[in-house]
Amino acid sequence: MFSNARVVGEQFFLSGMHAGGPDGPVGGDDAHAQAVETFRRVRALTEACGATVDDIVVLRIYVTDIADKAAVGRARSAMFSGDFPCSTLVEVSALVEPGLSVEVEAQGFLPKAAPAAD
């Protein structure tokens, strides 16, 4: 049906990550708590692709309430340092599961392998 992540050549792509769980969103209806969990999942999936969050160059963030922009921004700022990824934040009417308030897509480049020592 879909992949949570794909590595294509030197790039990686993460599909919409969110805080959904079997008993509802991790963090309940708290947008900041959902964003923290969402970005934790983005980090884990990025690392599974062989990269780090510093290798992410683009984020697309979807929120169901634009008033949550600052709360989501705090969670985003806690994950990144140095050069931040290019980002878009958009309000949408709903996400894939009831109660979700944040979803994130990411893409970036895998780190270049260090040249072999002679």
Q: How far is CA 109 from CA 10, 15, 30, 47, 93, in A?
A: 6, 15, 31, 12, 31
What global pTM score does this model have? 0.92
Residues of the chain with pLDDT > 90, as a percent, come to 88
| Residue 69 predicted with pLDDT over 90 | yes
Superfamily of domain 5-109: RutC-like (3.30.1330.40)
Q: Is the pLDDT of residue 113 over 80?
A: no
Taking the C-alpha atoms of residue 34 and residue 28, their distance in angstroms, rounded to an integer, is 7
Every domain of the chain and the residues it spans: 5-109
* Structure confidence by residue, pLDDT tens digits, 5-15: 999 999 999 99
